[in-house]
Structure 1
Amino acid sequence: MTAEDRIAELENRLGIVEDELAIRRLQHAYGYYLDKCYYDEVVDLFDEDCEVIFIGGVYKGRAGAARLYTGRFRSRFADGHNGPEFGRLLEHPMLQDFISVAPDRQTALGRYRTLMQAGTHQLAANERTPVRQWMEGGVYENTYVNDGGTWKIKKLFYRAFWHGTMEHGWAYIPADYVPNASVTYPDDEYGPDELLANAPRLWPETSTLAFHYRHPVTGKEFVPDAWGKYPGE
């Protein structure tokens, strides 16, 4: 290997490290904006030709992402405006990240865990939004694209795994306590473009969301069953 080749290799490796840091910042910014209901800023993180998979629904393009964030979420958690609402708690820490940048540095995959805490304070409750306090855990498996040197979210796949109220915990929550989407747009003005086939269900199901990466020691690809089944199914 010539000195020039060695320098080019090192520059590419450094570039990949910089890409990983940029993608991590991108995803962490998503979590912080989501915490405070800055849904305009959330949508701006996505590529124009993006896709969001959330609770059994597939939202296509920036228009679909906007229906979910600036439509459904904003109306539910921020009373129709951009920014935090008094008495609402919505925390989405981005944890345990595993980022894989493609060799050409144009696309990347990332896996994150989130442990959400949310609720409506008694002083902010009304007939439409009662007092609530709950926790939820899930995993993101995302795809990112390098758009002219700026990393954007190309595909966001949030797989909720468990949900529980603070009053009763998670051991007694019905499996379909958080129902999957069942009506598409435009019949539902904030609905997804299509429904996810074989949509996942929450714990007590214990299926594994497929890993995008190979085993870091053995190099083997590990793709478990997509959702698993309930006993007897």
Structure 2
Amino acid sequence: MSTTEASTDLEELRRTVDDLERRLAVAEARHEVRTLHHKYGYYLDKCLYQEVVDLFSRDGEVVFIGGRYRGRAGVERLYLQRFRERFTRGHNGPLPGFLLDHPMMQDVVTVAPDARSAKARIRALMQAGVHHSVPELAGRTSFEQWWEGGVYENSYVVEDGVWKIRELHYTPFWHADYDKGWARTEPMSHLIPTTTFPDDPAGPDELLPDFAFFPATDVVPFHYPHPVTGQAWE
């Protein structure tokens, strides 16, 4: 083998190794992002709201039911002041008799080429309710027992060497009183915010128009293009 041929083979080997390193980094990042979101779901199941907040980046934010909560202060306002105060009376962790399960499914994770940021679309199907043995929790939820279906379109980032949630964008499409089902449950429009913080101490920093519950059938834009046509749906 000539010197030129050996040099060419070595360069090709380097390109192959570089490509494999890049593909491995993307694959590992995809696994980390998927795992991070599922951990978020497990913490949320048990009302571990402080643990949820700690999953966000320093500039993280949440989009939820027609409102945007910006920065750590906004994230804390939603999970600690709104959810924790309402559902668990300020207690961080589960209360006996309160069910709040969030199975996460159908995740599509797209990692940036540098494996330092990512986006994901994930479906949630929540089951929730209050057991009859804890009447003191009655009135803290809209229904005694219910279902909820929604979709996440999130972004994630590596911060201080750790994957964190940069933007959690959750759209709960429908709710269903267990006894009535989704066909006869009225839209929970009273949950859509009309006032921002600080006028509403637990409100969002920004109101986002045009949000509506089922029977509205709006589509949350996909972060990824169509895999065949390459077109984006917005």
Q: What TM-score results when the alignment is normalised by the length of structure 2?
A: 0.90
Partner amino acid, structure 2, of 1:210: P
**Which residue among 223, 228, 231 is the counterpart of 1:220?**
231
1:177 and 1:188 map into 2 onto residues whose CA distance is: 17
Offset, 1:107: 1.4
Partner amino acid, structure 1, of 2:175: H
Q: Which has the higher helix share?
A: 2
- Counterpart check, 1:167 vs 2:179: yes
C-alpha offsets along residues 185-232 of structure 1, whole Å, 9 cap, x if unaligned? 11221111111132x211111121111101123322222xxxxxxxxx
Greater CA drift, 26-35 or 115-124 = 115-124
- Counterpart check, 1:185 vs 2:191: no
- Counterpart check, 1:149 vs 2:170: no
| Maintained 8 Å contact 2:189/2:212 | no
1:81 and 1:221 map into 2 onto residues whose CA distance is: 43
| Structure number with larger C-alpha Rg | 2
1:39 and 1:210 map into 2 onto residues whose CA distance is: 28
| Maintained 8 Å contact 2:175/2:187 | no
* Partner residue in 2 for 1:71: 81
**Which residue among 106, 113, 120 is the counterpart of 2:130?**
120
Structure 1 vs Structure 2: percent identity of aligned residues? Answer: 50
C-alpha offsets along residues 50-96 of structure 1, whole Å, 9 cap, x if unaligned? 11011111100011101111111101111211100111000111110
* Partner residue in 2 for 1:54: 64
**Count of matched residue pairs:** 222
Partner amino acid, structure 2, of 1:203: F
SS of equivalent to 2:76: helix
C-alpha offsets along residues 113-143 of structure 1, whole Å, 9 cap, x if unaligned? 0000011111112364377101010000001
1:23 and 1:97 map into 2 onto residues whose CA distance is: 10
1:111 and 1:11 map into 2 onto residues whose CA distance is: 25
* Partner residue in 1 for 2:222: 211
**Which residue among 27, 45, 62 is the counterpart of 2:55?**
45
1:38 and 1:50 map into 2 onto residues whose CA distance is: 18
Q: What TM-score results when the alignment is normalised by the length of structure 1?
A: 0.91
| Maintained 8 Å contact 1:98/1:110 | yes
Partner amino acid, structure 1, of 2:231: K
2:192 and 2:97 map into 1 onto residues whose CA distance is: 27
* Partner residue in 1 for 2:119: 109
| Maintained 8 Å contact 1:120/1:129 | no
5+ residue gaps in structure 1? 224-233
* Partner residue in 2 for 1:36: 46
